[in-house]
Amino acid sequence: MIRKILLSVFLVTIAASAASMMGLEALGKPTEGASAITLGRGYAGGAKVGSGIVDWNPAALAFEKYTSFNATMTFEENVASKSGTSYATSTLEIPSLSFIFAMHDFGTLAVALSEKYTSNFDEEVSDSTQTNLASLKYKGNIYEITPSYAVRLPFFRRLSLGFTAHFVMGSVSRKLTLGGDNSEVSEADSWATNSSDITETAEGSWEIKDHPAYYTGAVHYKGRNSSYYFSYTTAYTLKNDLEYNIEFSETDTLVPTKLSREIDVPPTMATGFAYRFHKKHNILLDFMLRGWDADIRNIGGSWNLKDSTDTQTEFMAAIGYERSGSTDYFKNYVQRMDFRLGAWYRNYYICDVTEYGVGIGSGFPLGRRSTKVDIAIQGGVRKSEDSSIWDEKFVGIAIGLTGVGNWGNKPKKVH
**Residues 164-183 interacting with another protein (rule: CB under 8 A):** 176, 178-183
Q: In the set 6, 125, 153, 235, which binds another protein (CB under 8 A)? A: 125
Q: Does 13 bind another protein (CB under 8 A)?
A: no
SS (H, E, C) 355-401: EEEEEEEEEEECCCCCCEEEEEEEEEEEEECCCCCCEEEEEEEEEEE
The reply on whether position 332 binds another protein by CB under 8 A is: no
Q: Does 256 bind another protein (CB under 8 A)?
A: yes
Among 19, 20, 23, 25, binds another protein (CB under 8 A): 25
CB of 279 to another protein, least distance (A): 23
Nearer to another protein, 15 or 153 (CB): 15
Which listed residue (131, 313, 327, 406) binds another protein by CB under 8 A?
131
Nearer to another protein, 11 or 381 (CB): 11
Binding test (CB under 8 A) with another protein, winner from 106, 153, 157, 189: 189
Please pick, from the candidates 397, 398, 402, 404, the single residue that binds another protein as defined by CB under 8 A: 397
Residue 94 sits at φ, ψ, to 5 deg, of: -120, 90
- Give the C-alpha separation, 373 to 246, whole Å: 46
Whichever of 76 and 144 has its CB closer to another protein, that residue is 76
364 with 354: CB under 8 angstroms?
A: no
| 319 Cβ neighbours under 8 A, 6+ residues apart | 42, 44, 283, 284, 285, 286, 342, 343, 344
What number of chain residues touch another protein (CB under 8 A)? Answer: 77
| Least separation in angstroms between CB 53 and another protein | 24
Of 32-40, 62-70, 97-105, 185-193, the window that binds another protein (rule: CB under 8 A) is 185-193
**Least CB distance from residue 255 to another protein, whole Å?**
5
Nearest distance from C-beta of residue 100 to another protein, angstroms: 23
* Dihedral of the alpha carbons of 183, 184, 188, 189, in degrees to the nearest 10: -110
Q: Which is nearer to another protein, 190 or 327 (CB)?
A: 190
Contacting residue, 259, 283, 289, 401, with another protein by CB under 8 A: 259
**What single string gives the DSSP state of each residue in 197-262?**
-EEEEEEEEEEESSSS-EEEEEEEEE-SSEEEEEEEE--EEEEEEEEEEEESSSS-B-PPEEEEEE
Query: Residue 412 to residues 66, 67, 368: CA-CA distances in angstroms?
Result: 12, 14, 11
Q: Binding to another protein by residue 262, rule CB under 8 A? A: no
Per-residue burial over 263-287, b = 16 or more CB atoms within 10 Å of its CB, e = otherwise: bebbebbbbbbbbbeeeeebbbbbb
- Closest by Cα among 249, 384, 273 to 49: 273
Site for another protein in 75-104 (CB under 8 A): 75, 77, 79-80, 82, 85-90
Residues 213-252, interacting with another protein (CB under 8 A): 244-246, 248, 252
Of 189 and 328, which has the nearer Cβ to another protein? 189
Distance CA 200, CA 178 (A): 8
Q: 60 to 79, contacts with another protein by CB under 8 A? A: 75, 77, 79
Interface residue with another protein, options 155, 156, 303, 330 (CB under 8 A): 303
**Is 65 within 8 Å of 51 (Cβ atoms)?**
no
Nearer to another protein, 5 or 414 (CB): 5
Other beta carbons less than 10 A from residue 304's beta carbon: 6
Residue 391 binds another protein, judged by CB under 8 A? no
Backbone angles phi, psi at 188, to 5 degrees: -65, -20
Question: Shortest Cβ distance from residue 136 to another protein (Å)?
Answer: 7
* Kind plus residue range of the DSSP H or E element containing 319: strand 313-323
